[in-house]
Amino acid sequence: MNNDILKVLYSEEDIAEACKRLGTQLAEDYKDKTPLIICVLKGAILFMTDVIRDMDIYATIDFIDVSSYNGGTASSGTIRLLKDLDTDVSGRDILLVEDIIDTGRTLKYLEDLLKDRNAKSIKVCTLMDKPSGRVVEAKADYVGFNVPSEFVVGYGLDYEEKYRNLPYVGVLKPSVYSDK
């Protein structure tokens, strides 16, 4: 295990199980549509590529990069659009894939953007939901885990851009922050 990790919240096996459950459900719900599956970079990169493996349906994928934490542990409150979609979303059934919903600001920003561009439908699949963190109203349709109010890293999620490559989700040792 990575030396900076205090404890593992969701193991590789836990995550694989959640991906299978969500992917199977999504495949069923979208079998008569051709959704545009949007990966919200960078955090959702691992989750999105795993969950779509259990979706044997017609679908297209795209990526959008937004950031508001700037590597830290608290939302700055300002969403920066770093890379836009390549796809025209007008008339499309959109499935947004996120790693975590915390304050809800990122999701709200993305939903507003997609509505503005005349998406036909918008659903949200997130690996983790932290309802205790909400500042604006935001709701996911598909949730892997409800997480306690702790700052988590791994499996796409970063602290100062590190730990995204860990195959599990965990909590950092306090010394990692205090050493700064």
Query: Binding residues for Mn ion, per CB under 5 A?
Result: 43
Using CB distances below 5 to 8 A depending on partner kind, what does residue 105 bind out of Mn ion, Mg ion, ligand PRP, none? Answer: ligand PRP
Residue 36 or 103 with smaller CB distance to ligand PRP: 103
Task: State both tokens at 153.
Answer: 């890293």
Distances (CA, A) of 82 to 66, 67, 151, 171: 5, 7, 23, 27
Q: How far is the CB of 103 from Mn ion (least distance, A)?
A: 12
CA pair distance 40, 57, nearest whole angstrom: 21
Asked if 96 is part of the footprint of ligand PRP (rule: CB under 6 A), the reply reads no
Asked if 163 is part of the footprint of ligand PRP (rule: CB under 6 A), the reply reads no
User: Mask: binding to Mg ion, 133-162, rule CB under 5 A, as x and -?
Assistant: -------------------------x----
For the CA atoms of 156, 157, 158, 164, the dihedral, rounded to the nearest 10 degrees, stands at: -20
Q: How many residues bind ligand PRP (CB under 6 A)?
A: 19
Residue 120 or 123 with smaller CB distance to Mn ion: 123
CA pair distance 93, 101, nearest whole angstrom: 21
Question: Has 14 been annotated as catalytic?
Answer: no
Q: How far is the CB of 125 from ligand PRP (least distance, A)?
A: 13
Q: Following DSSP, what letter does each residue of 30-88 receive, concatenated?
A: TTTS--EEEEEETTTHHHHHHHGGG--S--EEEEEEEESSTTSSS--S--EEEE--SS-
Q: How far is the CB of 82 from Mn ion (least distance, A)?
A: 10
CA pair distance 99, 177, nearest whole angstrom: 22
Asked if 43 is part of the footprint of ligand PRP (rule: CB under 6 A), the reply reads yes
Would you please indicate which residues are annotated as catalytic (active-site) residues? 102
